[in-house]
């Protein structure tokens, strides 16, 4: 069983904001695969699918970003998945708009949602896709920035990275982390 968790905040107020790019990606992936999210008995919404003969689950925490680890640990336990089969999709203010960083493991990069997942799982050894949301804010205004919507001038770069991210998730759900990383390295070479 593979799990793909998108980091974001629940509720209409946060829809289509920079911090919710993980939710936006999972919504697009679910729509592309004709899947729907339903509430779990824990703090997340989920959708189950199959890639070939490989089952996967999409997870959107019902907690705020800072508590994403609660949903992560519940989903990992409930679906009996290993961390190597647990992919996190998150925003990153340290990357330019639309840039991607794909890794098999790593630190929290200053992201509170990632920090929560590392804390609750007790490990930073799980794959992740970070999508750049830029850093056009002044000191002390990061919270307002990540909770703002993308500017029209940024949407092209975001749509391009979203399309690539969907392909990376396809590779992950079909063949795991190795297939995803192999696919990513081929794209980077082109």
pLDDT of residue 135: 86
When pLDDT is cut at 50, 70 and 90, the band that residue 132 belongs to is very high
* Domain regions of the chain by residue span: 2-189
Distance between CA atoms of residues 135 and 145, nearest Å: 8
Average pLDDT, the chain: 94
Given a cut of 90, whether residue 122 has pLDDT beyond it is: yes
Q: Which of the four pLDDT bands, split at 50, 70 and 90, describes residue 190?
A: low
* pLDDT of residue 189 exceeding 80: no
Q: What is the pLDDT of residues 146-158, one digit of tens each?
A: 988 988 898 889 9
- pLDDT per position as a tens digit, 7-41: 999 999 998 899 999 999 999 999 999 999 999 99
pLDDT of residue 148: 87
What interhelical angle do 155-189 and 21-32 show, nearest 10?
70
The whole-number pLDDT of residue 79 equals 97
Q: Does domain 2-189 have CATH number 3.40.50.1470?
A: yes
Structure tokens at 177: 């982390």
pLDDT tens-digit readout, 58-88:
999 999 999 999 999 999 999 999 999 999 9
The mean pLDDT value for 87-98 works out to: 95
Active-site amino acid positions:
19
Share of the chain above pLDDT 90, in %: 82
Q: Examine the pLDDT at 163 and tell me if it is beyond 90.
A: yes
- Give residue 188's pLDDT: 77
Per-residue pLDDT tens over the stretch 43-63: 999 999 999 889 999 999 999
Average pLDDT over residues 100-116: 95
């Amino acid at each position: 069983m593979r799990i793909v968790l998108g980091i974001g905040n629940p509720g209409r107020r946060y829809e289509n904001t920079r911090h919710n790019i993980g939710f936006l990606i999972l919504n697009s992936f679910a729509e592309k695969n004709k899947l729907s999210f339903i509430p779990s008995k824990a703090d997340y919404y989920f959708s189950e699918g199959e890639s070939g003969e490989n089952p996967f689950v999409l997870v959107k925490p019902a907690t705020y970003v800072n508590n994403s680890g609660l949903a992560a640990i519940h989903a990992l336990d409930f679906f009996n998945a290993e961390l190597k089969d647990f992919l996190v999709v998150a925003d990153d203010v340290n990357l330019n708009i639309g840039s991607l960083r794909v890794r098999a493991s790593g630190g929290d990069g200053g992201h509170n949602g990632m920090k929560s997942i590392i804390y609750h799982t007790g490990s930073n050894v799980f794959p992740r896709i970070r999508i750049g949301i830029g850093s056009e804010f002044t000191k002390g205004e990061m919270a307002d920035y990540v909770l703002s919507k993308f500017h029209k001038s940024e949407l092209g770069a975001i749509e391009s990275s979203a399309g690539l991210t969907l392909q990376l998730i396809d590779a992950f759900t079909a063949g795991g982390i190795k297939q995803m990383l192999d696919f990513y390295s081929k794209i980077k070479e082109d």
